[in-house]
Amino acid sequence: MNLIPIVIEKSARGERSYDIYSRLLKERIIFLTGKIEDHMANLIVSQMIFLESDNSEKDIFLYINSPGGLVTSGMSIYDTMQFIKCD
pLDDT one-digit tens code per residue, 34-72: 999 999 999 999 999 999 999 999 999 999 999 999 999
pLDDT for 34 equals 95
Q: Which of 38, 34, 33, 32 is nearest to 71 (CA)?
A: 38
Q: Do 7 and 20 contact (CB within 8 A), yes or no? A: yes
What ranges do the domains of the chain cover? 28-87
Residues 46, 39: Cα–Cα separation, whole Å: 11
Find the mean pLDDT for residues 77-83.
97
